Amino acid sequence: MRVLEAAVLFFGGLAAHWLASTQLSVWGLAPHVLFVLTLGAAAAAGPVQGMCLGFFWGLALDALSGHVFGANALGFTLAAYGLGTLRRQMDTASPPSQAVLAAATAPLYTLFYGFAGSLFEHRFLWPGWAAFLLDPVYTALLAPFAFSAARRFLKP
């Protein structure tokens, strides 16, 4: 992985997350941009590079969040490890499979974050049913673009 290209992807991902959260949200719902970029990085370059990017993206989100510090970093790291180790057994190259993968893992990540809140803050961090059911759809629509960007900047 080239350092400059990884830095462009990292800061571009942060900017895309800010843009999606502030300008492209629909009814208060926004896609999990950094989560799907983490999945794309793990699919494109393997588990180690995906875990590194996901960890630092998660730390950036945790620094901006008022909740459990480190939960996003751990969740992104676990997702990148899981997808990075299984990427040879599944199709991560076609846009429909990328969308399905993002739609299937986004609710799991939301539940993980909620359980981390119940463990450390003694309350389940629930985003609401609308976010739980519709964010995966919004994230799935973004997945082919995120996987393409990760594949472009992270050459194996």
For residue range 38-54, list pLDDT tens digits in order.
999 999 988 999 999 99
* DSSP-based three-state secondary structure for 29: strand
Question: What's the DSSP call for residue 45?
Answer: H
pLDDT of 147 > 90? The answer is: yes
Return the C-alpha torsion angle 93, 56, 71, 81, nearest 10.
40
pLDDT of 155 > 80? The answer is: no
| Structural domain boundaries in the chain | 3-153
The CATH code that applies to domain 3-153 is 1.10.1760
Residues 6+ apart with CB under 8 A from 141: 31, 99
Distance separating alpha carbons of residues 121 and 15, to the nearest angstrom: 29
Residue 64: predicted pLDDT: 87
Distance separating alpha carbons of residues 52 and 19, to the nearest angstrom: 23
pLDDT digits (tens, 9 = 90+) for 101-121: 999 999 999 999 999 999 998
Is the pTM value of this prediction over 0.75? Answer: yes
Residue 79 to residues 19, 36, 39, Cα–Cα distance (Å): 23, 10, 7
